[in-house]
Structure 1
Amino acid sequence: MNPTTIHVKQQKDNLVLVPSRVVFYEQMQLVETFDDQSECHMLFFYKQKYLTAVRTTRLKIHSYVARAFKEGTVYESQHPFLQALIESNAPLQKISYPQLKKKIARPYSRQEQAKILTFFESFIPKKQLFQDMKSLFYQYRREGNMSGAYRVIRVMRDFAPNNRFVKEMANDLSYRKLANLYLEQSHTLMERDPLFKEACTSFEDHQRLLEKEGRWIEASSRQLSHFYNQPTPESYQSYRASLSRHFDCDSRTFILEQMSQAIPSFQPVTEDLFQHYVANENVMGVARLYTERELQLNEEQLNQVEVLLERNRFDETPDNLLPFMKRLTAQHPEQTRALLDAFIIRLLETMELEQVHDSLMSFTKKSSLMRKVERMNEIREDLDCMQELGELYYGFQQLEKSIECFQMEMELKPSTPEPLRWLSKVYADKQMMDESKAYQQLCVDVQKWA
């Protein structure tokens, strides 16, 4: 699903990093990665746009990043959100702090620049960060933009609430009217302060804002969290439509699996996941979901399962499907009769006879093939029954094992033509005509001598 490595350009050697997890917090996304020396590198994003990478040994306890990991939404490395975030920003390049300040000066307001600087408290001296924010504040002041200056002060207040300068500016009478507007959550003020608007707006309005700004990964993350908090059919249908717009089939399946694990009792997710597994011919996914969720299949779903299993011949490891087939055949004995026979044949192709017999003991429905397996298990070490065992193996199309039985019968009873006839027949089925003719001639000779 996710890229196993992330490549980040830097001045000397490029960094090759393995992602560990990603956190979404406010407007920031942070990807935690590790290099081949197990050193941690943080990749910073603001509103889904890549900023830079920073190597770190530890985080300050009360830093913005530490708070993000504590209060934000974290996804592990295999999540499609992380993949989408990396792919939409490639190629990535590590830049210095002075370069970062220049990079963010072009597309972002000074308020947003101040906000971005707070991300780096664990890596850049706090005094330096504070001075740079203060410079942004004074740029607004010199322009006479009191509203912009106060917006920066609000960011600085969150960053350094006990700083004397911040306290003085926050309580300055010049900003009293603006402070009251924030308390009132003025609509006019929200249009001027996008960060405040995101913090105060309704879920629906916030989603529309994110979609409008092209921040669909953030929107999808918030919508997923909203669904977990309110798992209603309406919220699920809305999120399902969003998944279809933005993610490919594999990513949708992954997210549905996560949702199914988080809310196993929510039936619409389970049903959609079942259809994804069927469409992708994921036999083990269907089996696991059917068994763990105790699904009740309707006629159409049962037909889908039958077609899937017939096409895939029960996957490469049919023994893993034993719990699935046991429950399926018990619930639908008549409809799955042929399917059960095909399953038994497949088991014999991949497992020893004794293992197949023991595995089928717990099945409540005993088919004719099961009884044949029981008989085969009874006589498998009886030298007087090698002819019968060979014929039973042949009935299961286990040609190599039938040959072994008939050859042993031939050695035990050299004057009997019957095993020779069978050997000629089996080799003919294997399109080994020289061997078939040889045994046919040997059979004729034995009959003459008799």
Structure 2
Amino acid sequence: MNPMTIHVKQQKHDLALAPSRVVFYEQMQLVETFDDQSQCHMLFFYKQKYLTAVRTTRLKLHSYVACAFKEGTVYESPHPFLQALIETNIPLQKYSYPQLKKKIARPYSRQEQAKILTFFESFIPKKQLFQDMKSLFYQYRREGNMSAAYRVIRVMRDFAPNNRFVKEMANDLSYRKLANLYLEESQTLMERDPLFKEMCASFEDHQRLLEKEGRWIEAYTHQLSHISNQPTSESYQSYRASLSRHFDSDSRTYILEELSQAIPSFQPVTEDLFHNHVVNENVNAVARLYTERELNLNEEQFKQVEALLEENRFNETPENLLPFMKRITAQHPDQTRKLLDAFVIRLLETMELEQVHDFLKAFKKKSSLMRKVERMNEIHEDLDCMQELGELYYGFHQLEKSIECFQMEMELKPSAPEPLRWLSKVYADKKMLDESKAYQQLCVDVQKWA
């Protein structure tokens, strides 16, 4: 995937930010970015909805953000999940703390507002955050909603467990019954407290909850983590099918690549990834996967790879394909003769003769072209063999190098017509007809003088 730039509006000038990673933790998503001055800016999201951006100098050791990076699921940029998170929230704007409080007041419950405020412990004085949470608590108390007030206290307890006010409220007799319901994980209570319900949910229930709330990016990350830890063919096939609803082919391949790295022994992912690389004509990726995972290709897969290489003509950096060619020719010796010949020719087009010769030592079984390369390596410094070397280069379609050899032979043997005939032939192949005719005439003249 290509690197992306995130644009965030602010009062004086807009920010152009390069993301480095995204973390998913509980209901929060946090994108770490850097501006052109290498200054860090954190982009905060709650349930996939953008909140604000904050310039960062340091994180408090035990803050919510520090905990997220330690315990959450982190994806390095670029990543399809990060890109989807940003694209579904454009345009982005930086809000001040007072603006943020107004922004979250309408769509979220006071419990969720309190939870969101805990995200900013490293950037807003903890005393200020605590007072704002306390205000949310008292709003519920004034309304007589004791159950909702206690839910805010639970958030405050996680935020400031040693605070005297929090301890007093948490142990208040009026909340004793509610506290017991939490210990019992009461189903009735869970319907009232969505944060607690999400925390206690099984994998299947959590997945349904995320999908119901439209938190599809979180659902994908949640399911990906589950498959990585407990891979089954059924769960994987379901996940692979669902990816096409939101991600294009390149993004799906990227996600499968990541999953394959996490569970390299899980064959269904490897096979799908191999197929994707073949379809996308990614020769280097096909070669790497085939070699690293020691795949054994069936007849259909081999034909697909063969067609891909014939079409590509090893146009990628051919020396990177040496381990791949060594293994596939060893496994399919009778079917890969043409491929091996094409590989040798491509090596000669991109590398020096001595390097090609050294590369080909890795192959135990030598083809006729390999033996020719060995012969070329033997005679390439022998002035008495320039004619033979030129003809060998010509056989490999190395016209420029063959011209050099024939010209050297012409200088060493000015009365010999053979190098002149070859020079006329090579220039004709290069569509340089004037040069071809000139050497043809010179060859006639030399034969007359002889």
Q: Give the structure-1-normalised TM-score.
A: 0.97
Matched with 2:345 is 345
Cα shift at 1:320 = 1.2
Question: The residue matched to 2:245 in structure 1 has which SS?
Answer: helix
Measure the CA separation in 1 of the matches of 2:412 and 2:160.
Answer: 94
Match of 1:355 in 2: 355
Residue number in structure 1 paired with 2:97? 97
Q: How many Å separate the matches in 2 of 1:323 and 1:60?
A: 48
**Residues 32-61 of structure 1, C-alpha deviation per residue, up to 9 Å, x if partnerless?**
122233222111110011101111222222
SS state at 1:19 partner: strand
Separation (CA, whole Å) in 2 of partners of 1:283 and 1:2: 19
Contact residue 21 and residue 76 of structure 2 kept, 8 A = yes
Task: Give the whole-Å Cα distance in 1 for the aligned partners of 2:411 and 2:124.
Answer: 85
Contact kept? 1:21, 1:75, Cα under 8 Å = yes
Give the structure 1 partner of residue 117 of structure 2: 117
Residue of structure 2 in register with 1:370 after alignment: 370
**Residue 443 (structure 1) aligns with:** 443
1:2–1:181 CA distance, 2 compared to 1 (3 A): farther
Matching of residue 405 in structure 1 with residue 405 in structure 2? yes
Cα offset for 1:2?
5.3
Structure 1: stretches of 5+ with no match in the other structure = none
Q: d(CA) in 2 for partners of 1:315 and 1:442? A: 38
Secondary structure (helix, strand or coil) at the match of 2:244 reads helix
Q: Does the CA-based 8 Å contact 2:64-2:121 persist in structure 1? A: yes
- What's the counterpart of residue 183 of structure 2? 183
Comparing 233-242 with 320-329, greater Cα deviation is found at 233-242
Tell me whether 1:146 sits opposite 2:150 in the alignment: no
Aligned-residue offset at 1:329: 0.7
CA distance in 1, matches of 2:2, 2:176: 50
Equivalent residues of 1:2, 1:82 under 8 A apart: no
1:23 maps to: 23
Contact 1:2 1:79 in 2 (8 A): no
Q: Deviations over 1:298-345 (max 9, x none)?
A: 111111111111111112311111111111111110000111011111
- 1:195 is the counterpart of 2:199: no
Give the match's secondary structure for 1:246: coil
After TM superposition, the structure 1 stretch with the greater mean CA deviation from structure 2, 90-99 or 16-25, is 16-25
> 1:181: Cα distance to partner?
2.1
**Cα deviation digits, residues 383-427 of structure 1 (max 9, x gap):** 221111111111111111111111111122222211111111111
Kept after mapping to 2: 8 A contact 1:3/1:83:
no
The 1-side partners of 2:323 and 2:43 are apart by 44
- The equivalent residue for 1:286 is 286
Residue 321 (structure 1) aligned with residue 325 (structure 2): no
Counterpart position of 1:52: 52
Q: Displacement of 1:286 after TM fit?
A: 0.9
1:158 corresponding residue in structure 2: 158
Q: Do the aligned partners of 2:406 and 2:422 also contact (CA within 8 Å) in 1?
A: yes
Normalising by structure 2, report the TM-score.
0.97
Structure 1 residues 2-13: aligned runs within 5 Å: 3-13=3-13
Q: CA deviation at 1:277?
A: 1.1
Percent identity between matched residues is 88
Q: In the aligned structure 1, how far is the partner of 2:143 from the partner of 2:367?
A: 88
Residue 218 (structure 1) shift: 0.8
Q: In the superposition, relative to structure 1, how do residues 339 and 2 fare at CA in structure 2: closer, same or farther (>3 Å)?
A: closer
How many residues align? The count is 450
Aligned-residue offset at 1:255: 1.9
Q: Using the TM superposition, name which of 238-247 and 370-379 deviates more.
A: 238-247
| Structure 2 residue 219 is the aligned partner of structure 1 residue 219 | yes
Deviations 1:68-113 (A, max 9, x none): 1121111222222212211211221111000000000111111111
Q: How does 1:190-269 map to 2 (within 5 A)?
A: 190-269=190-269
Structure 2 CA distance, aligned partners of 1:22 and 1:432?
A: 58
Q: Deviations over 1:253-275 (max 9, x none)?
A: 22222222222212111111111
Distance, in Å, in 2 between the alignment partners of 1:361 and 1:251 is 39
Is the 2:284–2:316 Cα contact (8 Å) retained in structure 1?
no
2-side partners of 1:380 and 1:198: how far apart? 73
Cα distance in 2 for partners of 1:390, 1:117 equals 77
Helix, strand or coil at the partner of 2:359: helix
Give 3-state SS (helix, strand or coil) of 1:43's partner. Answer: strand
CA contact (8 A) 1:349 1:398 kept: yes
Displacement of 1:156: 1.3
Q: What is the deviation of 1:244? A: 2.5
- The one-letter amino acid paired with 1:30 is L
Deviation at 1:31, TM superposition (A): 1.1
User: Is 1:67 aligned to 2:50, yes or no?
Assistant: no
Deviations 1:270-304 (A, max 9, x none): 11111111111111111111111111111111111
User: SS of the counterpart of 1:104?
Assistant: helix
Alpha-carbon distance between aligned partners in 1 of 2:421 and 2:37, rounded to the nearest angstrom: 67
Whole-angstrom distance in 2 between the partners of 1:161 and 1:39? 32
